[in-house]
């Protein structure tokens, strides 16, 4: 397997609050292969978006990256001087934030906002930048891009605003694209169309993608590799087909079981994950899923948080003392 284009090593992120320190990300390690899609998924509040922001050192104050490395083409992005990091943001690594309606500047036209990323990183004139902006908007499926560049964000639909955000992030054909819940507020037809455009873009340019989503349908559609997060930890990591066909962590198994399956004749009730996620201010020393886990054993109650180790095959990693076995998966179906 070729060397990954981006590697996250032992990332830890904290947010101080009046009630205590929120440990949002706890020792996360990931690798993104060239031209592939890594999906980070899990419940809301599991730390997915924080990992995405950390890649470009965009954690808002008073949050801070406590430790870890983010290696891009051999350079640690967390230690680069500000001017060097700014040259990478947008040009080599693009990011699409969660809410397009609030990410776009309401007092600038669409054209001005797309042109800004182009003129910041390329020595081109205004006319050439406008032409490039129209081309990238058309590439993202926006009709009449010569008219769209004249509009303001309030004149766009939700789907159009999201396409504009992706156009800005991909205007310079970055090597890596980070997408944080890019279709969470869109209907399924618009969502499917945008995902198809992203797949086409990836096939044409070889862009490597980190997709952050809680939508398991998008995970199945887009992922090559999946990182399942819970309470700031990666609890299972592997190939998307392996994760969906043979989930080994009780959390992954329960989460997949909570969604209806079209390939099942079972009309019974769906799996319910009892309880609630733990407070990130007061995380236990043991596995944070312990109070909700249907497979907890004595070792889970007395041992520390299990490390993420290989299971089944070298590419399937699991943090669990008592994993789900294949026969249990088959019985559940």
Would you state the pLDDT for residue 326?
59
Strand, coil or helix: 193: helix
Contact by Cβ (8 Å): 214, 42: yes
For the beta carbon of residue 202, count every other beta carbon within 10 angstroms.
18
pTM of the model: 0.93
**Domains, the chain, ordered by start:** 6-228 (3.40.50.300), 231-332 (no CATH)
Describe the crossing of helices 158-170 and 110-121 by its angle, rounded to 10 degrees.
Answer: 10
Strand, coil or helix: 302: helix
Contact by Cβ (8 Å): 238, 225: yes
Question: How much helix, strand and coil, in percent to the nearest 5, is found in the chain?
Answer: 35, 25, 40
Distance CA 76, CA 8 (A): 9
Provide the CA 326 distance to its chain's centre, in angstroms: 28
E strands along the chain, which residues? 6-17, 20-32, 37-41, 64-72, 75-76, 93-96, 176-180, 208-212, 225-230, 233-239, 309-311, 313-318
For the beta carbon of residue 67, count every other beta carbon within 10 angstroms.
12
Output the CA–CA distances (angstroms, integers) from residue 311 to 229, 304, 305, in the order listed: 17, 19, 17
Structure tokens at 311: 């299971």
Would you state the pLDDT for residue 184?
77
Would you state the pLDDT for residue 264?
58
Query: pLDDT under 50 in the chain at which residues?
Result: 331-333
């Amino acid at each position: 397997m070729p060397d990954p284009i981006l590697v996250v090593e032992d990332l830890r992120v904290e947010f101080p609050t009046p009630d205590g320190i929120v440990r949002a990300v706890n020792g996360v390690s990931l690798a993104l292969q060239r031209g592939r899609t890594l999906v980070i998924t899990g419940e809301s509040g599991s730390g997915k978006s924080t990992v995405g922001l950390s890649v470009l050192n965009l954690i808002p104050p008073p949050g801070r990256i406590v430790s870890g490395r983010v290696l891009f083409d051999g350079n640690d992005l967390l230690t680069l001087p500000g001017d060097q990091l700014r040259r990478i943001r947008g040009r080599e690594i693009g990011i699409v934030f969660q809410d397009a309606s609030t990410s776009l500047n309401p007092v600038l036209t669409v054209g001005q906002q797309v042109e800004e990323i182009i003129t910041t990183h390329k020595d081109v004139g205004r006319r050439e930048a406008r032409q490039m902006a129209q081309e990238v908007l058309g590439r993202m499926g926006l009709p009449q891009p010569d008219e769209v560049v004249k509009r303001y964000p309030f004149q766009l639909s939700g789907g159009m605003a999201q396409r504009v955000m992706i156009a800005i992030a991909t205007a310079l054909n970055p090597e890596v694209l980070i997408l944080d819940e890019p279709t969470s507020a869109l209907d399924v037809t618009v969502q499917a169309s945008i995902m198809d455009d992203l797949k086409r873009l990836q096939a044409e340019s070889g862009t490597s993608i980190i997709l952050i989503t809680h939508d398991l349908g998008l995970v199945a559609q887009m992922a090559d590799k999946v990182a399942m997060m819970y309470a700031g930890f990666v609890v299972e990591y592997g190939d998307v087909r392996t994760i969906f066909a043979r989930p080994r962590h009780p959390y992954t198994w329960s989460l997949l079981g909570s969604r209806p399956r079209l390939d099942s004749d079972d009309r019974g009730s769906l799996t319910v994950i009892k309880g609630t996620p733990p407070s990130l201010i007061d995380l236990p020393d043991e596995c944070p899923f312990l109070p909700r886990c249907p497979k907890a054993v004595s070792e889970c109650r007395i041992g520390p948080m299990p490390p993420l180790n290989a299971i089944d095959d070298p590419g399937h990693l699991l943090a669990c003392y008592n994993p789900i076995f294949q026969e249990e998966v088959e019985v559940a179906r």
